[in-house]
């Protein structure tokens, strides 16, 4: 089986498993909604502040949901030693990593696309006309999150205190992606300078690429016996 087919097979397996159990979907949807509402109350004194804070709020909700989603990605694999069995197959480790990444990224992107209008409504922040590039930005931002989260979730999968350890390890590394995503979203929504938005989106893509290359290269060390 070629590497790409193996990658897609792993992604498809995880997607089907998630579609049946919906554990991660329920958790992330619920948690991101709660985050949005809490932030709406926290910032709600000043309507102008709420509008300006909307891009950041969107990414806060996505960031926290991303951690939950990543932790869930390996949960089912730990039952019955399924992950070890997966590793015995002649599949390159990077393909396993990318397969899990693909699923996590897809679910996070869909969540992000859904949260976009919800945030815009709750925070009275008009989206403006750059919807395609906005969807692209969300996809690139969730990609960065997914790369780091999938990587560290594998690392902490069989450690104690993994639920609290994952955000501690992830967030300092994910900060460049978060900053770039927030600035890009803000630039697109306020719509002042199109080249500014373009530059931030390119920067975001650059960060994603660096992290993708580094994590794919060293993933095999994380899951070796």
Contact 41, 122 (CB under 8 A): no
Position 209 contacts other proteins (CB under 8 A) = no
The closest alpha carbon to 171, from 31, 39, 64, 53, belongs to: 64
Position 155 contacts other proteins (CB under 8 A) = yes
Which range in 22-30, 59-67, 74-82, 209-217 contacts other proteins by CB under 8 A? Answer: 209-217
Spatial neighbors of 164 by CB under 8 A, at least 6 apart, are none
User: Radius of gyration of the chain from Cα atoms?
Assistant: 18
Angle between helical axes of 162-190 and 194-223 (0-180°, round to 10): 160
The minimum distance between CB 94 and other proteins, in angstroms, equals: 14
SS percent in the chain: helix, strand, coil, step 5: 90, 0, 10
Which residue in the set 169, 190, 191, 205 belongs to the binding site for other proteins (CB under 8 A)? Answer: 169
Q: Which is nearer to other proteins, 131 or 209 (CB)?
A: 209
Position 151 contacts other proteins (CB under 8 A) = yes
Q: Which is nearer to other proteins, 32 or 215 (CB)?
A: 215
Cα 100 to Cα 64: distance, rounded to the nearest angstrom: 19
Which range in 3-11, 53-61, 124-132, 171-179 contacts other proteins by CB under 8 A? Answer: 171-179
Question: In whole angstroms, how far apart are CA 71 and each of 74, 96, 134, 157?
Answer: 6, 16, 27, 8
Position 87 contacts other proteins (CB under 8 A) = no
Position 156 contacts other proteins (CB under 8 A) = yes
Position 74 contacts other proteins (CB under 8 A) = no
Position 200 contacts other proteins (CB under 8 A) = yes
In the DSSP assignment, the letter for residue 135 is H
Position 176 contacts other proteins (CB under 8 A) = yes
Please give the residue ranges that form the binding site for other proteins (CB under 8 A). 148, 151, 155-156, 159-161, 165, 168-169, 171-173, 175-176, 179-180, 183, 193, 195-196, 199-200, 203, 207, 210-211, 214-215, 218, 221-222, 224
């Amino acid at each position: 089986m070629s590497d790409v087919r193996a990658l897609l097979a792993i992604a498809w397996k995880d997607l089907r498993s998630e579609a049946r159990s919906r554990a991660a979907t329920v958790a992330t949807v619920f948690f991101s909604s709660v985050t949005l509402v809490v932030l709406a109350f926290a910032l709600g004194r000043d309507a102008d502040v709420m509008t300006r804070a909307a891009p950041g709020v969107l990414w806060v909700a996505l960031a926290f949901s991303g951690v939950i989603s990543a932790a869930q990605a390996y949960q089912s694999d730990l039952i019955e030693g399924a992950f070890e069995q997966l590793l015995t197959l002649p599949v390159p480790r990077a393909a396993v990593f990318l397969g899990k990444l693909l699923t996590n990224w897809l679910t996070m992107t869909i969540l992000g696309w859904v949260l976009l209008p919800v945030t815009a409504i709750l925070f009275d922040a008009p989206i403006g006309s750059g919807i395609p590039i906005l969807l692209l930005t969300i996809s690139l931002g969730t990609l960065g999150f997914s790369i780091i989260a999938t990587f560290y979730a594998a690392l902490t999968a069989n450690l104690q205190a993994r639920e609290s350890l994952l955000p501690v390890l992830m967030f300092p590394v994910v900060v460049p992606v978060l900053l770039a995503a927030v600035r890009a979203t803000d630039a697109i929504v306020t719509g002042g300078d199109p080249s500014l938005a373009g530059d931030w989106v390119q920067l975001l893509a650059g960060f994603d690429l660096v992290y993708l290359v580094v994590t794919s290269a060293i993933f095999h060390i994380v899951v070796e016996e």
